[in-house]
Amino acid sequence: MADELHKILIVGGGAAGLELATELGKKLGKSGRAEITLLDAASTHIWKPLLHEVASGTLAEAEEIEYMAQAHRNHFRFLFGRMEGLDRAAKEIIVAPINNKQGAELIPARRFKYDSLVMAVGSVSNTFGIKGVDQHCMFIDTTTQAYRFQRQLVETYYIQSYANQSRQRDKPLSIVIVGAGATGVELSAELHEVTKLLATYGLEGSIEVNITIIEAATQLLPALPPRLSQATQDQLLKLGIQLKLGRKVTEVTETEVHTYDGEVFDADLKVWAAGIKAPDWMKSLDGLETNHINQLVVDQTLQTSDPDVFAIGDCAACAWADHAGNVPPRAQAAHQMASAVAKTIVNRLNGKAPVKFVYHDYGSLVSLGKFSTVGSLMGSLMGTVSVGGFIAYVVYLSLYKMHQVAIHGYFRTAMLTLSNLFRRSTHAKIKMH
């Protein structure tokens, strides 16, 4: 009987994929109408807009969601692995072998069948082929990368502290962030706060830290209106963060970042946050159409040219109705896409037509930690409203709460929120290991 169930396979456990698996598990898995499987190369989930807090060490570990526990509670199955290919004729995905740290193969390559396949693999940083970026920059596209950066950040602080104490070095610690989008801007503000906390916690030795953002565009945060972009720029300058706008990076070395005008920036830590693309292996996904940044091209039902294959979230290129270009790669878009595909798949099982996806833009918000939150909210009755300060912070927080409600429900989200409030009163504000 189990073999006759409609097999729904979701690849990628980010905001879109995990929300979809959870919703379908409740609607179809619990009643035994379908078999829902989620595949991801990690074992835990953190909402991607929070990764800059993981990288700076300011996010509590309690924010992580264990995929296996989530699957057990919500009637779907979790598979650990990384997709590397697609066989549309056989309606199977190909999952890469799993090796241990020494390179020995633990689990061979596998194949898994599907009736409905949903690609939700998200995005990775786009290095644009610039020399030295892959070798010398750190990225925060995944939880693993964010934790790796956080460890290196703390280690670098300790090394710098010792060097200052023993007079082996008298230069400031230099952190260069390439990219002035939301990730780069939010990370810079968090790192500024971390430098103050480390000093407060009594790290030996006086450490001077220079944080620099380099951006090819002439405006900070192009998704925001110019007035709010300027307000953010003013706030960062007040914090002492150096902004180098209109500077295209041409090369990154072990200790420096070079720009097209010949300027060279010393950099002990280098973070690349200058653009996104879908993973490179998606370019050759058994004939499915992709765009120049490897995203799968989908129609208004979020289906690819193969009606059994959907794409949602950052890896999907979906035309934005009445706008130039595609739906922007934002968490709110991923949330809305997951809801639309959930309805479509339920309709498929009931012999009904797919649901058309209509993106509703509720605005953009950027958090500068405890210093400020700025953004714009969209409303059909009031037009575009610029917001800042406490109101913007509450709205920014509510976006994450919407994600938590989709994953945990209202009661669990309320309990998590309360537990985190108590936790903050007893735990350090930053992670030191």
Over the stretch 97-109, which tens digit does the pLDDT of each residue have?
988 888 888 889 9
In terms of Cα–Cα distance, which of 339, 292, 352, 345 is closest to 313? Answer: 339
Q: Domain boundary residue among 297, 318, 349? A: 349
Q: What's the number of domains the chain is made of?
A: 3
CA–CA distance, 269 with 151 (Å, rounded to integer): 12
Q: What is the mean pLDDT of residues 292-317?
A: 96
> For 173-225, what is each residue's pLDDT tens digit?
899 999 998 889 888 888 888 777 666 555 555 577 899 999 999 988 876 77
Q: Are residues 163 and 218 in the same domain?
A: yes
Q: Are residues 397 and 301 in the same domain?
A: no
Q: Domain boundary residue among 255, 272, 289? A: 272
Residue 96 has pLDDT above 50, yes or no: yes
Residue 53 lies in a domain: yes
Q: Are residues 214 and 265 in the same domain?
A: yes
Q: Are residues 164 and 267 in the same domain?
A: yes
Q: Are residues 156 and 225 in the same domain?
A: yes
Q: Are residues 138 and 267 in the same domain?
A: yes
- Please give the helix or strand (H or E) that residue 174 lies within, else none: strand 173-178
CATH number at residue 260: 3.50.50.60
Q: Are residues 65 and 194 in the same domain?
A: no
Residue 35 lies in a domain: yes
CA–CA distance, 8 with 247 (Å, rounded to integer): 46
- Please, what is the end-to-end C-alpha distance for the chain in angstroms? 49
* Distances in whole angstroms, Cα of residue 348 to Cα of each of 115, 308, 355: 11, 10, 10
Q: Are residues 297 and 236 in the same domain?
A: no
Q: Are residues 109 and 137 in the same domain?
A: no
Q: Are residues 73 and 149 in the same domain?
A: no
On whether the CB atoms of residues 356 and 321 are closer than 8 A, the answer is no
Q: Domain boundary residue among 349, 375, 403? A: 349
On whether the CB atoms of residues 272 and 139 are closer than 8 A, the answer is yes
> For 197-207, what is each residue's pLDDT tens digit?
666 555 555 57
Residue 358 lies in a domain: no
CA–CA distance, 370 with 393 (Å, rounded to integer): 9
Lowest-pLDDT range, 144-153, 219-228, 280-289, 315-324?
219-228
Residue 355 lies in a domain: no
The alpha carbon of 36 is separated from its chain's Cα centroid by a whole number of angstroms, namely 24
Q: Are residues 211 and 266 in the same domain?
A: yes
Q: Are residues 182 and 73 in the same domain?
A: no
In terms of Cα–Cα distance, which of 243, 225, 187 is closest to 365? Answer: 225
On whether the CB atoms of residues 335 and 15 are closer than 8 A, the answer is yes
Residue 24's pLDDT band (cuts 50, 70, 90) = very high
Structural domain harbouring 290: 2-123+278-349
Residue 374 has pLDDT above 60, yes or no: no
